[in-house]
Amino acid sequence: MATYSAIKYNVDYGGFAGALIPIATFTSDGSDSNATFTSGIDSTYDEYLFIFNNIHPQTDNRGLRFIASVNGGSSYGVETTSTAFQASHGEGDAGGALAYNTEHDAAESTSAISLISEQANDNDLALSGYMRLYNPASTTFVKHFMCVGTHSGSGGGGADAAVHRYIGGYINTTSAVNAIKFDMQSGEIQGGTIQMFGVH
Amino acid sequence: MATYSSIAHNFTPPAANIGAMTLIKTLTASSSGTISFVDGSSSVVLDDTYKTYLFKFINCHPSDNGPNFNVNFSIDTGSNYNVTKTSTFFHSRHDEDGSDGQVVYDTGGDLAQGTGNQYISRGIGNGSAEDCVSGELWLFNPANTTFATNFMGTSNSVELNASSQETYFAGYCNSTSAVDAVRFAFNAGNIDAGTFKMYGIA
């Protein structure tokens, strides 16, 4: 006869493969220095998805960054190498261009890593996008991440611009990454949500 | 102590929507002029129920040879698709004969405070029955009335001169009105075939 403990292992969740499982949500109170995710990043999922919705910066032309931790958030800063490029186009039809962003890539940096950068702080503008983090619990491989975002760059008194940003790279450690902190390049996060999902 | 039979009757299987990503609606094109997802119509939800919406368009085959595939947005539940938009557009491409591999910004596909259609892909072939375009569109927090509504997407298509074309587009609907309808179409002819899926991410 089956026991209770045996029955629990017979539940088949296979049909939910690919589902997004909500783990945690950060909702800005309008004056946040950062957003941290210090639990729930482990070997449960091979992939984690962070969705950024309407992140509004305090400081004009400053965007979102992230920095990783291997000790649950006691300290942040793991060597990371990344690439960054963007397409941009102004509301006044100027500057339609594709460009590599040397100012936003990283070479074995232990500082915060640029993601969706240079967001205007106009009251009606904010950035959105997502970042995928692969197998952060691995103790064999580096940790890959890929981020795509769309934001509105400040025209600095002129016309604002649409910017489509791509960032990819790897956190260059074989220690498990178990915490992530997001912040702005300067100033506060003054609006928006960051959701963390496990990809089942 | 619980018995096997009592446990079986008390067990509630996990719901189909255990995850945060919910399939809201699937539409299938068949010689369709447009494909539209309108809040409150045909079981479509496009409001603050979900923070993020993801649209997938799969194997969209044009009736004409060489049309552009477009999307536009509405703030009046589909009465008009003419929201002001600023956007970017770039593509990479490579011909089937091995030539012309490139990645370039494409000024023909972007918008500067335009109200017309946003290009998803350009010059899609229909010379062969298998020619088509597939891809996805992300729409962020369309119900918000504080910020402009961000969107971004990517596609791959068979271009009319037998090449693989990968496109990348992004921008914002420069309005603080809620976006409540999305429409896909070719700029000439019909969508002969194709599957369109709309997901909400809570």
For residue A5, give every residue at least 6 positions away whose Cβ sits within 8 Å of its Cβ, in sequence order, or none: none
DSSP string for A44-74 = T-SEEEEEEEEE-BSSTT--EEEEEESSTTS
Contact B86 A89 (CB under 8 A): yes
Nearest-by-CA chain B residue for A13: B14
The residue among B71, B100, B118, B108 whose CA lies nearest residue B164 is B100
Q: Which residues pair with A163 in a beta bridge?
A: A88, A151
Chain A partners of B89 at a C-beta cutoff of 8 Å? 87, 89
| Domain A25-199 CATH class label | mainly beta
Cβ of B170 within 8 Å of Cβ of A150? The answer is: yes
Q: Are A150 and B152 inside 8 Å of each other by CB?
A: yes
Cβ contact B74:B41 at 8 Å: no
Mutating which of A3, A48, A151, A164 best tests the B interface, going by the most B Cβ atoms within 10 A? A164
Tens of each residue's pLDDT in chain B, 202 residues: 555 555 545 555 555 445 689 999 999 999 999 999 999 999 999 999 999 999 999 999 999 999 999 999 999 999 999 999 999 999 999 999 999 999 999 999 999 999 999 999 999 988 888 899 999 999 999 999 999 999 999 999 999 888 999 999 999 999 999 999 999 999 999 999 999 999 999 9
A117, containing H or E segment: none
CA–centroid distance for A35 within its chain: 11
Residue B156 pairs in a beta bridge with B134, B166
Residue boundaries of the structural domains of chain A: 25-199
Cβ contacts from A onto B, under 8 A: 135
Q: Are strands A80-90 and B35-38 parallel, antiparallel or unpaired?
A: unpaired
> Containing H/E element for A87?
strand A80-90
SS3 of residue B8 by DSSP: helix
Please determine, for the modelled complex, whether the ipTM score is greater than 0.90.
no
Averages of pLDDT over each 10 residues, chain A, 200 residues: 48 58 97 98 97 96 96 98 96 94 96 94 96 97 96 82 96 97 97 95
* Chain A closest-CA separation from residue B13 CA (Å): 8
Q: Which residue has the tokens 């369309």?
A: B142
The secondary element (H helix, E strand) that includes residue B6 is: helix B4-10
The pTM (predicted TM-score) of the whole model is: 0.90
Task: Determine, for residues A90 and B141 on separate chains, whether the beta-carbon distance falls below 8 Å.
Answer: no
